Structure 1
Amino acid sequence: MALTATSTATITTLLISLFFLPKLCSSEFTIDHHHRRFAKADVDLLEFPLNLEFFEAEFFLYGALGYGLDKVAPNLTKGGPTPLGAKKANLDHFTQDVILQFAYQEVGHLRAIQKVVKGFPRPLLDLSKESFAKTVDAAIGKKLSPPFDPYYSGVHFLLASYLIPYVGLTGYVGTIPKLKAPSSRRLVAGLLGVESGQDAVIRAYLYEHAKEIVSPYGITVGEFTNRFSELRDRLGHQGRKDEGLVVPLAEGAEGKINGNVLAGDADSVAFDRTAEEILRIVYGSGDEKKPGGFYPKGGNGRIARSHLL
């Protein structure tokens, strides 16, 4: 049967569409070094965590080794400024071993993200004992004497470390549903797995010592974690998304236990946070538009910088 003019036009249009379809689709994706496709819409979401990964890498490296990325992997810094006030911590052998493992894991995280997206220079980080002391004072509600020093001992360093990976992992939980490409979700899920493991190790160690008094403050390890979690909730402004190591019975798993070695909601599912909540917390200002705290000049990348315009 002969084709009508209308059917001929339809077929022609379809063929032209099929010819251009790969080009149209490819414009929505970027290709990494392993030839995996990542949605361009995911780039900002994949870059933002570099702010936290830089923080963790530097804090752990300096704590364990006394030096950071400038010596270990200078190419990953992309010329960003050297952190302020970071130094080697007075760690026992076990804690030194664990923190060094964390440090090199964070180097891998930075590399994994930068394989996929261009990234940005390391932001200016204030990792001085004075910076940590201000955060701890805000959590406790008064100035501690002597000021809290994260580099003083293994317990002090792990308490300071309690402030870091958990914020990042809640950000990864919040990011995954927003990602378009399966390869993007796979990357972030992999990062989340290790960040969650780090947080679990830190919490487990601190939980074992939860009832011990942190000298010379007369405050237990468990109470420090509770105060840190309360501070993060206050700064985040999005309700309860944080829990210390010892909670009221009603808030424990299934409402049946006070111990809280892992944090989670009523169904023991991990909490999530947005980039804006994370900025409010790490800036210590409760406002994503007001940098400070550990990030004196704010975070880098389009998401962080867009709030500073």
Structure 2
Amino acid sequence: MDTTNILTQVLEASDRRRDERRNFLRVAGQATVAAGGLSLLAACDNGPKGFNPTPTPTPTPTPTPTSAPVSDGDILNFALNLEYLEAQFYSFAVYGTGLPASQVTGVGTQGAVTGGRKVTFEDPIVAQYAREIAADEIAHVAYLRTALGSAAVAMPAINIDGSATGAFTAAARAAGVVSSTGVFDPYANDNAFLLGAFIFEDVGVSAYKGAAPLLTSKTYLDAAAGILAAEAYHAGLIRTILYGKGFAAGTATGSIFDQVRMISDARDSLDGSVEDDQGIAGADSSISNIVPTDGSGIAYSRSAANVLNIVYLTKSATVGGGFFPNGVNGSIKTSNAN
């Protein structure tokens, strides 16, 4: 994308969007926004109507340092961190290698990837889907880096290890997918890969859904909507394959439904008090739940801070852990205390 074509046109603010932006900044813990109403009051005459006294000069006050509001660039850089994670996972799983060196540089501390290796796929359909998703995620990284230009953050340290000390095992142990001493290796086979992908995909969809109303540039909003749609296709695809494999296995050996539910419950426990995450089937596994929505058929959102709760594998307000051991780069980096 040609960065000279990035528009700065601002969408008309509404009360709802203003409230959402304030809430986003509060939970992200990175910036504060001066209330528009207070600014207007400060500019207005507080005296009686029609009375306009001669203004008395007053000394210019010393400016008080304040935190800068979160910008569209900050939001897209937050998204870029997540795209680095997904792109590295899929790239290693499909090709056995990560992103090229030219695609991981930028602002902030550049980190390395721990873990990751090629999956020996048994099902050619799963292998083909994995290749397609990998190509999309790699393209997302390239697109966001081009759109952000010199402001793009570097890839932070990423842990996608499937060993006993890796982030995938920590996530699986917390969810109960494996025992407290068990190991979860998403590169071991098709099903393990799909479960590993399931950990990320729904999170990406809810993150873009939560960020979309906060963007002011129509061009950035259009880009975010396009990536959101792609991530939703990916999530629906992973959920569909998992449901099909679980359904085909039958109730006697069909542990996939339980494993997916455990991961979903774990995400719910990490990201706050609202229970909106969903598995791939209802109480009766014969009824699919491919698209996790509310009663109106609308996908749910997550704040940036609550997304970080999941990828950091924490319920505390911290700046690192889990899949991002040293945190993410950019101004939005703090998870939520819950």
Please point out which of 316, 335, 338 is paired with 1:287: 316
SS of structure 2 residue aligned to 1:49: helix
Q: Distance in 1 between matches of 2:179 and 2:310?
A: 19
* Code of the aligned partner of 2:188: Y
Please point out which of 39, 43, 56 is paired with 2:73: 43
What percentage of aligned pairs have identical amino acids?
26
Unmatched tracts of structure 2, length 5 or more: 11-69
* Code of the aligned partner of 1:268: G
Please point out which of 172, 178, 183 is paired with 1:147: 183
Q: Where in structure 2 are the equivalents of 1:104-119 lying within 5 Å?
A: 104-117=135-148, 118-119=151-152
Specify which structure has the higher proportion of helix.
1
* Code of the aligned partner of 1:168: G
SS of structure 2 residue aligned to 1:210: helix
Match of 1:54 in 2: 84
Match of 2:232 in 1: 196
Q: Where in structure 2 are the equivalents of 1:1-309 lying within 5 Å?
A: 33-38=3-8, 41-70=71-100, 74-78=101-105, 80-92=110-122, 93-117=124-148, 118-129=151-162, 130-140=166-176, 143=179, 146-211=182-247, 220-248=255-283, 258-304=287-333
TM-score normalised per structure 2:
0.73
How far has the Cα of 1:241 moved from its partner? 2.3
**Moved beyond 3 Å, runs of 4+:** 211-214
SS of structure 2 residue aligned to 1:61: helix
Q: Distance in 2 between matches of 1:41 and 1:55?
A: 22
SS of structure 1 residue aligned to 2:305: helix
Instruction: Please say if residues 33 and 115 of structure 1, whose CA atoms lie closer than 8 Å, have aligned partners that are also in contact.
Output: yes
How far has the Cα of 1:262 moved from its partner? 1.2
Instruction: Please say if residues 211 and 220 of structure 1, whose CA atoms lie closer than 8 Å, have aligned partners that are also in contact.
Output: no
Aligned length: 265
* Code of the aligned partner of 2:90: F
SS of structure 2 residue aligned to 1:163: helix
Q: With a CA cutoff of 8 Å and minimum separation of 6, indicate the structure with the bigger relative contact order.
A: 2
Q: Distance in 1 between matches of 2:155 and 2:192?
A: 26
Unmatched tracts of structure 1, length 5 or more: 1-30
Q: Distance in 1 between matches of 2:199 and 2:318?
A: 21
Q: Distance in 2 between matches of 1:268 and 1:299?
A: 32
Q: What are the Cα deviations for residues 243-274 of structure 1, in whole angstroms up to 9, with x where unaligned?
A: 0011247xx9xxxx832011111112101001
TM-score normalised per structure 1:
0.79
How far has the Cα of 1:76 moved from its partner? 1.5
Match of 2:16 in 1: none
Q: CA RMSD in A?
A: 2.5
Deviates more, 1:190-199 or 1:116-125: 116-125
